[in-house]
């Protein structure tokens, strides 16, 4: 009990615990459904529905059930959590706030171009029947989300680590490694992105092995999928799916009304 109390006496450890829980629950939701634990799965899908669109085509599945958040959000929060762990164990150099900006660009372009081309109906066919000129895929969503999460998580985590050590007499090298040149920043970023990319491949492989009905389109689910014609369709491969604007959350299902 003393060890637990001592662990949580450090604010940074509280932060890590919250991040770990936040990252784990959406992945546990489909596992709960597989085990027949519908009630906790419903709670998770419901809570995360306020923070993610939960489109089935843009999500990773396990046991034929989608995560409680999309591929991009999975990448973002895994990136934040991994960098938080590395900052905890003094594995990343201190990052200045303006170096987070390049990490935002890839996700902005990936999501922004698809949104613009979709809403303006810009497509090679030049008519309303064609697919948008650019449609991202789950691989690009995950990777660009992970890059964003790495940059933002890197900076936020180091600020929280500094704050958690306030009042203690520590040298800079006690909190962060001494290496801080541009080459090491780039190398650290490449290793992080590659590591999360391997993690994504593992998730898609698990998806393919555990699912029968809803499978990835290839080894990395890197095939572009056209946006659903029904914008309000949610959780098609999850619990309490919706298809209409009349009840986009399907509250009757979540709260067991007339079920």
Tell me the pLDDT tens digit for each residue of 31-42. 999 999 999 999
Paired tokens of 190: 């490449």
Residues 6+ apart with CB under 8 A from 75: 141, 142, 143, 144, 145, 146, 147, 148, 149, 196, 200
Q: Tell me, what's the pLDDT at 227?
A: 59
Determine which of 3-17, 46-60, 68-82 has the lowest per-residue pLDDT on average. 3-17
pTM: 0.89
69-111 pLDDT, tens per residue? 999 999 999 999 999 999 999 888 888 888 899 999 999 999 8
Question: How far is residue 122's CA from residue 120's CA, in Å, rounded to a whole number?
Answer: 6
Question: How far is residue 259's CA from residue 249's CA, in Å, rounded to a whole number?
Answer: 15
Q: Can you state the angle between helices 138-164 and 71-88, rounded to 10 degrees?
A: 30
Paired tokens of 73: 């959000």
Residue 66 binned pLDDT confidence (cut-offs 50, 70, 90): very high
**Taking 60 as the threshold, does the pLDDT of residue 182 lie above it?**
yes
């Amino acid at each position: 009990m003393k060890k637990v109390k001592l662990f949580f006496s450090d604010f940074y450890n509280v932060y890590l615990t919250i991040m770990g829980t936040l990252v784990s629950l959406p992945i546990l939701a489909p596992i709960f459904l597989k085990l027949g634990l519908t009630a906790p799965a419903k709670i998770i899908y419901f809570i995360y529905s306020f923070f993610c669109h939960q489109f089935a085509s843009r999500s990773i599945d396990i046991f034929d059930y989608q995560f409680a958040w999309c591929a991009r959000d999975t990448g973002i929060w895994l990136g934040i959590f991994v960098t938080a762990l590395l900052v905890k164990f003094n594995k990343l150099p201190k990052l200045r706030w303006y170096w987070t900006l390049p990490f935002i660009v890839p996700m902005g372009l990936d999501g922004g171009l698809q949104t613009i081309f979709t809403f303006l109906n810009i497509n090679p066919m030049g008519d309303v029947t064609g697919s948008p000129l650019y449609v991202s895929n789950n691989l690009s969503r995950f990777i660009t989300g992970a890059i964003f999460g790495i940059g933002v998580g890197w900076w936020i985590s180091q600020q929280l680590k500094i704050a958690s050590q306030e009042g203690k007499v520590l040298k800079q090298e006690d909190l962060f490694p001494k290496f801080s040149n541009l080459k090491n920043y780039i190398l650290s970023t490449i290793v992080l992105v590659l590591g999360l990319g391997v993690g994504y491949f593992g998730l898609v492989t698990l998806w393919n092995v555990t699912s029968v009905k809803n499978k990835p389109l290839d080894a990395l689910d890197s095939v572009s999928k056209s946006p659903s014609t029904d914008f309000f369709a949610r959780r098609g491969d999850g619990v309490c799916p919706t298809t209409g604007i009349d009840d986009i959350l399907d509250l009757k299902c979540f709260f067991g009304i007339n079920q």
